[in-house]
Structure 1
Amino acid sequence: MDGLSSLLHPGSAWGYVPAGLPLVVLLTGYRDSGQTVRQSMETMIDHGESDIVATFSADALLDYRARRPIVTIDGTEVRDYRIPRLDLRLMHDSLGQRYLLLSGYEPDFRWEEFTKTIVTLVRHFRVSTTTWAHAIPMPVPHTRPLRLTATGNREDLVEQLSVWKARVEAPAHALHLLEHALMQAKEPVASLVVLVPHYLAEGVVPAGPLKLIEALGTATGLLIPTEDLREKDRVFRAEVDAQIASNEEVQRLISVLENQHDGFLKGTPQENPFADADGELPTADEIAAELERYLSARRDRDE
């Protein structure tokens, strides 16, 4: 690529990226309630084949004093020195569909140059859509399905997924600047924001990545395995419920949150998670057709 940014170092898969793939961007650091982004990123990398398309320079983008590298000391020797990574990978989902995943840390420095570099990559690889995500704490109960809010210029997707729309001013994520730049460039982009129960947001909440990966499937058509996360979520829910069972004050708080949550969603398409954007439930024939499409795709993949 002409004029390759000094922030970027091409990897082994640079010359093998097909045009028109979706790009998913998951960066950890800021706004990751319930460690939703980190868990989603690890799930996608662990369950998919990947090749490095490019790596970004930590020396240029990372504040080492805020996020220090990790050393391994064995006796009297430093055996290993690990710096946080920010990579662009060529990935495959469960059906063999290829996509690009930009994952790692949120840059501390040079946001504008980083943004220009990603916009250039989007154009160079003729990316079909860009989808990024983060998670924030909200006064919602863990006893209800997690919800999303969304922004971007993919209006149908935003309307379908977003449960909360408001005019707010808040500290920015580096990817807010990227989203703004892609919208200015008329490139399809959407951000997905998982709303995590505020009283659980400091822990590891498996329901967060479950919701996010589901929404990424809606946004990109990708199928990412979530069996491990579902088992972790069952264990996590049982532990939380056991702790709440002995605390009447917390039970009352959650009851209030449930009433507020249900009242807010009443009459909206999001009141029923199986409803479409118009609030209509799928018919039995539609469910059967979707199941057959999925099974057929799995058979083709296995063969």
Structure 2
Amino acid sequence: MISKDVLTASWDDIAPLRDPVFLIALRGWFDVSNAATAAIEWCVQERVVTIVGSIDPDPFFDFTHERPEVYLDEDEERQLRWPENDIYVARFPEGARDLVLLSGVEPHIHWSTFIDCIVDVAQGLKCSAVVSLGALADQVPHTRLPPVVGSTTNPDLARRLGLSQPQYQGPTGVIGVMQERFDRTGMPAVSLRVGVPHYLTNAQHPRSTAALLRHLEHVLGVPTNHGGIDADVRRWAVLHEEAVEDDAQTLAYVRMLEQQFDRRAEAAIPTGEDLAAQFEKFLREQD
């Protein structure tokens, strides 16, 4: 099986994109509470998008673990919804560039072929870089805006942008494998990840999603509508407080995390503004 067997591509007839960056988030290992996939979906929820590719789910999933869903359509007819990995483009005439986006589901098997599909899309649409989003359980309090940490496995890119190089060793997800593949193909790739309070991972965390959206707006130079998520942040802040208010031990732990968070300096990576300037300069030099 090769990528052409499972990737349906339809971008030949679209108008050229403006300095596109490929933005990727996959529900699964690297998307606790769906904070990363929610960021991509929020970013384009009021924008016209065009689907330019679709990856057939059948070869990539164990459907006893990622089950299809039955639903009733507008005509009250039963339909099946399978795990979707659709690639679409969004144009940002008021921003610095257009985006190619994938907010999908991490495959269970045949990772190499799945990543071949991603690489084919990035190259076919002439993306200047790839940015993957992730969310991990972390020791961050739910009452604070969590920092966004950037990294890349490319030593030159890490040095140029002031990003960290991952030192982690152990099991990884498809995003980690994808980063290595893009390195080998020469495509610049950056990973941005945000923390989610590890004691509330069964809840939603729009505050973590908002942190990613704000960072993306600075780095990519496109509007992400991050201010519109404030109502969700406030609503979930109340629910989070209610979840811990009757547990004295958890409350004490949260206060300790708050103190640690407030004492720590900002993450040892560039600010959003600094990283945006360096990223823009780097992309210009790729032309």
Secondary structure (helix, strand or coil) at the match of 2:13 reads helix
| Aligned 1:138-287 pairs, distance under 5 A | 138-152=138-152, 153=154, 154-155=157-158, 159=162, 167-263=167-263, 265-266=264-265
Verify the 8 A CA contact 1:132 1:192 in the aligned structure 2.
Answer: yes
Post-superposition Cα deviations, 1:10-67, rounded to whole Å, max 9, x if no partner, equal: 23x4431525311101111223223202322331342221111111111122222211
Cα distance change on mapping 1:274 and 1:45 into 2, 3 Å: closer
- Cα–Cα, structure 1 residues 114 and 237, in superposed 2: closer, same or farther, change >3 Å? same
Partner residue, 1:80: 79
In structure 1, distance between residues paired with 2:255 and 2:238: 18
Query: Structure 2: how far apart are the matches of 1:148 and 1:114?
Result: 27
**Residues in 2 aligned to 1:114 and 1:275: alpha-carbon distance in whole angstroms:** 34
Q: TM-score, normalised by structure 1?
A: 0.77
Equivalent residue number for residue 16 of structure 1: 14
Instruction: Name the larger-Rg structure.
Output: 1
2:218 alignment partner, SS class? helix
Residue 182 of structure 1, CA deviation: 1.0
1:256-279 superposed Cα distances (whole Å, 9 cap, x missing partner): 21233334x23x5669978857xx
Q: Deviation at 1:247? A: 4.1
Counterpart in 1 of 2:103?
103
Distance 1:166 1:155 in 2: 10
2:279 corresponds to = none
**Amino acid aligned to 2:127:** V
1:297 corresponding residue in structure 2: none
Structure 2 counterpart of 1:56:
55
Contact 1:14–1:52 (Cα < 8 Å) also in 2: no
Contact persistence 2:142–2:240 (CA under 8 A)? no
What is the rounded CA distance, in whole Å, between the counterparts of 2:160 and 2:133 in structure 1? Answer: 14
Instruction: Find the residue that maps to 1:142 and give its secondary structure.
Output: coil
Does the 8 Å contact 1:25/1:131 carry over to 2? yes
CA spacing shift, 1:122–1:243, aligned 2, 3 Å: closer
1:94-133 equivalences under 5 Å are 95=94, 97-133=97-133
Letter in 1 for 2:231: E
| Structure 2, gaps ≥5 residues long | 276-287
CA distance in 2, matches of 1:105, 1:180: 19
SS at match of 1:199: helix
The 3 A distance-change label for structure 1 pair 275 and 9 is closer
How far apart in 2 are the matches of 1:225 and 1:193? Answer: 19
Structure 2 counterpart of 1:33: 32
TM-score normalised over the length of structure 2: 0.81
Aligned length: 267
**Cα shift at 1:132:** 0.6
When structure 1 is superposed on structure 2, of 90-99 and 175-184 the one drifting more is: 90-99
Question: Following the alignment from structure 2 to structure 1, what is the Cα–Cα distance between the partners of residues 221 and 243?
Answer: 38
Contact 1:150 1:158 in 2 (8 A): no
What residue identity is the alignment partner of 2:104?
Answer: G
Secondary structure of the equivalent of 1:61? coil
Q: Is the 8 A contact 1:47 1:225 kept in 2?
A: no
Q: Deviations over 1:179-220 (max 9, x none)?
A: 111112221110111111111222101111111112222332
In the alignment, the residues of structure 2 paired with residue 272 and residue 157 of structure 1 have an alpha-carbon distance, to the nearest angstrom, of 11
Check whether the contact 1:151–1:158 (CA below 8 A) recurs between aligned residues. Answer: no
CA distance in 2 between counterparts of 1:246 and 1:159 reads 43
Instruction: Encode CA deviations 1:139-190: one digit per residue, 9 max, x unaligned.
Output: 1212222012222134268636x6xx76322321112111111112221110
Aligned-residue offset at 1:109 = 1.9
Q: Percent identity?
A: 22
Partner amino acid for 2:25?
L
